[in-house]
Structure 1
Amino acid sequence: MVYLSIENKVRELRARFQFSQGVLAERTGVTRQTIAAIEKGDYVPSLLLALTICNVFQMKMEDVFWLVEKEERV
């Protein structure tokens, strides 16, 4: 079975902008743990949060988040 997953490059952008998880969390109104979970792919952000993250980095949504087809392991 194939399913869609959302991947992102929040960690890479944070490094490029020299932001800690705490700084990005503060600028987006969430906790540091939320940013960590997004980076690990354990949490899919709401549309509002995803857009806010993109706004912080001044980037388009598709440059930060994208869909990937994955096969489910049995």
Structure 2
Amino acid sequence: MRNDVRGLRKAKGISQEQLGRELGVSRQTINAVEQGRYTPSLPLAIGIAQFFGRTVEEIFHVD
């Protein structure tokens, strides 16, 4: 599954650490999501979408 988390995060000018803190997860989790090594749980995916003001479908793309 591809995602736009890295691009959205960089556009906001925040670090992986800051995003993780906002979402209640570790920097390593954010890194794994961005790299496509970890598919986030539904609550985390929804949290990411809400943080960026997007829908889950706008951020996460099934290959």
The structure whose residues are more often strand, as a share, is 1
Which structure 2 residue ranges, 5 or more long, are not aligned?
none
Greater per-residue helix proportion:
2
Aligned equivalents of 1:64, 1:22: Cα separation in 2: 19
Q: Percent identity?
A: 43
Residue 26 (1) aligns with residue 21 (2): yes
Structure with bigger gyration radius: 1
Q: Which amino acid aligns with 2:56?
A: M
Question: Paired residue for 1:63?
Answer: 58
> Deviation of residue 44 (structure 1)?
0.5
Instruction: Indicate which of 31, 34, 41 corresponds to 1:39.
Output: 34
> Comparing both chains, which one has the higher relative contact order based on Cα–Cα distances under 8 Å and sequence gaps of 6 or more?
1
**One-letter code of the match for 1:30?**
V
TM-score, normalised with respect to structure 1: 0.83
What root-mean-square deviation, in Å, do the aligned CA atoms of Structure 1 and Structure 2 show? Answer: 0.6
TM-score (norm 2): 0.96
